[in-house]
A = this chain, B = another copy of it.
Amino acid sequence: MTDRIREFLRRREDDSPCVVVDLDIVRDNFEAFAKSLPDTSVYYAVKANPAPEILSLLENLGSSFDCASVGEIEMVLATGAAAERISYGNTIKKEKDIARAYQHGVRLFAVDCVEEVEKIARVAPDSKVYCRVLCDGAGAEWPLSRKFGCAPEMAPNVLEHAHRLGLTAYGVSFHVGSQQANLEAWDFALSMAAGVFQEMALRGIDLKMVNMGGGFPTRYLKDVPGVPSYGEAIFHALTKHFGNRLPSTIIEPGRGMVGNAGIIEAEVVLISRKSAEDEIRWVYLDIGKFQGLAETMDEAIRYPIRTPRDGDRTAPCVLAGPTCDSVDVLYEKTPYELPVSLSIGDKVLIEACGAYTTTYSTVGFNGFAPLASFVI
Contact = CB atoms under 8 A, between A and B. Distances in A.
Contacts of A297: 297, 327
Given A46-B367, A93-B269, A360 B362 contact: yes
Given A147-B328, A269-B93, A69 B366 contact: yes
A94 interface: yes
- By DSSP majority rule, is chain A's interface helix, strand, loop, or mixed? loop
A145 B329 contact: yes
Interface string A333-376: 00000000000110000000000001111111111111000000
A106 to B, nearest CB: 13
Interface in A25-49: 45-47
A277 to B, nearest CB: 8
Nearest to A278: B151
Nearest to A155: B275
Nearest to A273: B113
A209 interface: no
A45 B324 CA distance: 10
Contacts of A115: 270-272, 344
A112 B272 CA distance: 9
Of the four ranges (under 10, 10 to 19, 20 to 34, 35 or more), the interface on chain A belongs to: 35 or more
**How many protomers of this protein does the assembly include?**
2
A327 B295 CA distance: 11
Interface string A136-155: 00000010111111110110
A366 B68 contact: yes
A284 interface: yes
Contacts of A326: 142, 144-145, 147-148, 178
A332 interface: yes
Nearest to A71: B367
A114 B272 CA distance: 8
Contact of A116 (B69, B75, B270, B325): B270
Nearest to A289: B294
Given A270-B113, A272-B112, A274-B151, A366 B90 contact: yes
A142 B148 CA distance: 29
Contact of A360 (B112, B269, B290, B368): B290
Contact of A365 (B47, B73, B269, B364): B47
Interface string A83-125: 0000001111111000000000000000011111001000000
Contacts of A322: 90, 92
Contact of A324 (B47, B146, B154, B276): B47
Given A272-B112, A320-B147, A367 B50 contact: yes
17 contacts: A47-B323, A67-B367, A68-B324, A72-B367, A92-B284, A92-B320, A95-B344, A115-B270, A147-B326, A150-B272, A153-B275, A154-B274, A359-B364, A360-B362, A361-B362, A362-B362, A363-B370
Given A113-B273, A362-B363, 17 more contacts: A47-B365, A50-B367, A69-B366, A71-B369, A72-B367, A73-B367, A90-B322, A112-B272, A113-B270, A114-B272, A145-B326, A150-B275, A297-B297, A359-B366, A360-B365, A361-B362, A363-B370
